Amino acid sequence: MVTKLGTPFSNSATKIMLCGSGELGKEVAIEFQRLGVEVIAVDSYKNAPAQQVADHAYVINMLNSQQLKDVINECNPDIIVPEIEAIATDALVEAEKNGHVIIPNSRAVSLTMNREGIRNLVADTLELNTSKYKFASTEQEFEKVIDEIGLPCVVKPIMSSSGKGQSIVKSSDDIKTSWEYAQSGGRAGAGRVIVEEFIHFDYEITLLTVRHKDGITFCKPIGHEQVDGDYIKSWQPHPMEDDLLDESKRIATKVVNNIEGHGVFGVELFIKDKKVYFSEISPRPHDTGLVTLITQDMSEFALHTRAILGLPIPEIKFHGPGASHVIKLEGHTENVSFSNFGALKNSSTQIRLFGKPGVSGKRRMGVAIALGDNIENAIHKELVEKHNHARSESNRVEKNLNKKVELLEGMRIDIINDDKFKVLQCLI
């Protein structure tokens, strides 16, 4: 546990190594640097977002154990903070044995980067509610498992992120396509998949759970919308009945206490017919939690760094209901520019551009965040007990927040297509 902070580039420096340097890692790096921490950003490509603000940058194959060990040995960081799922975990286990602190710990990283490990822990060991699930390693086994789970069902690589390789099998015609898509979307290449029962849930939330030296702190629940398994927009708070929120906190507490370690955990939960189901957990800040950059006095990134460094975490002050909406591009280019920022004329509206060096396919390039002007003052205080009313409140909040999101539609993204040498204009 770090309780003393030094000076960067000196013998007293506290050195943090980020394994993964995307947009979430960038915000974490900024928070560390505010506290005088020397930051080392490692990723598989050059000029990743966190590398642009870090003190040192390394480009390696994150799944190559020797390359990761070499960087760790060269930099000798006090703390190693994994920010992505696809990492050579054996190198982290060895680093932990050699005295480096792994956040939250090497076991947690191994468990959560692999859907098989975390699902078995939650369902079998902790005996918490999850959807029905089975695993498959071959296409033949995959077809058999789908028959056992039933249609519709959700298919995911056991290692993936941002919806890559994820699909819904609605009929037998989708089976082969779904298998091939899952094989192409795995973080470590083709391999084993999880097949989950499709739950027609009433809503889903991300419950940001902070495990720190003084206990566990929760952020207000975050609702979100996904397209093809990838987060598009989120809002906070998502209205919930008190008993369902309490149950969500109970589940999150049980899981993170088993995993142990300190930091922010993004716990994903489904709510259906007054029951809470565990879905997934990330032992790091969550993409839907970008909304906390505007809704809270301490964002999920600030909370993460405080918990990691063993610093106090007082009561989180909530500024009011807010929303986030990603700026997502599709195409192939290494030249991207942004213009027409009329949305910023509106109060309590901000834009974060991640600075990613290019696009190849679909990619999140930024996020817009906004506070609601006066959205149902104290929504949580006035929630009635009935579930249906809670859902109507949720819909009303989301509708109002969408008004803020609509402000962003005038923003233009100019993409210089290297092949055709022309400018394409895209609306968010």
Q: Per-residue pLDDT for the chain (428 aa), expressed as one digit of tens each?
A: 666 899 999 999 999 999 999 999 999 999 999 999 999 999 999 999 999 999 999 999 999 999 999 999 999 999 999 998 778 989 999 999 999 999 999 999 888 877 888 888 999 999 999 999 999 999 999 999 999 999 999 998 887 666 678 889 999 999 999 999 998 866 555 678 999 999 889 999 999 999 999 999 999 999 998 887 788 889 999 989 999 999 999 999 999 999 999 999 999 999 999 999 999 899 999 999 999 999 999 999 999 999 999 999 999 999 989 988 898 888 888 888 887 777 788 888 899 999 999 888 888 999 989 887 543 432 222 223 223 333 333 344 444 444 444 444 444 444 333 332 222 233 23
pTM for the complete prediction? 0.86
The H-or-E segment that residue 326 falls in is strand 322-333
Q: Please, is 377 exposed, middle or buried when counting C-beta atoms within 10 Å of its C-beta (0-12, 13-18, 19+)?
A: exposed
Q: Please identify every residue annotated as catalytic.
A: 161, 163, 268, 280, 287-288, 364
- The single-letter DSSP state of residue 320 is -
pLDDT at 161: 64
Residue 341 CB neighbour total at 10 angstroms: 13
Domains in the chain with CATH codes: 15-102 (3.40.50.20), 132-197 (3.30.1490.20), 203-414 (3.30.470.20)
308: tokens are 């990691």
Q: Please, is 62 exposed, middle or buried when counting C-beta atoms within 10 Å of its C-beta (0-12, 13-18, 19+)?
A: buried
Query: What is the distance between the alpha carbons of residues 189 and 201, in angstroms, rounded to a whole number?
Result: 30
pLDDT at 381: 25
Write the Ramachandran bin of 229: left for phi over 0, alpha for psi from -120 to 50, otherwise beta: left
Is 416 in a helix, a strand, or coil? Answer: strand
Write the Ramachandran bin of 235: left for phi over 0, alpha for psi from -120 to 50, otherwise beta: beta
For residue 102, what are the contacts with CB-CB under 8 A and spacing of at least 6?
79, 80, 82, 92, 95, 96, 109, 261
- The single-letter DSSP state of residue 402 is H
